[in-house]
Structure 1
Amino acid sequence: MDVFVYGTLTDPAQVARVVSEFEFRGSATLDGLHRVEGEYPTLAPCGEVSGRVLRT
């Protein structure tokens, strides 16, 4: 399954802590949402956020 990840989940070491087998498929930009900083980063309407496509 391909999923869009951003923030700490773009770091292979962090992904390896939660997923046993994965492969990064490349960079991606999600249009229509932007990152909101906080204790736990979230996405909110408008803008864009950069991340990666992760295949599990």
Structure 2
Amino acid sequence: MSNPFKEIQENQQPSPELRKKVLGNIDALKLSLDLADLFLVKQPQILSTIFKKKKQ
């Protein structure tokens, strides 16, 4: 099996379609990480803060 990374030419620019696809994948990954952070980290912290203040 050949290594496709050895076939990359340093002086060549990627095609606009490939560039758009890669950036789209990065944006989708960033969005999913932001959503996970919001619902799994920040929301529980906010809810625990609200309930602690109500008990006082």
TM-score category, normalised to shorter length? under 0.3
More strand by share: 1
Tell which structure's C-alpha radius of gyration is larger.
2
Q: Give me the TM-score of the superposition, normalised by structure 1.
A: 0.16
More helix by share: 2
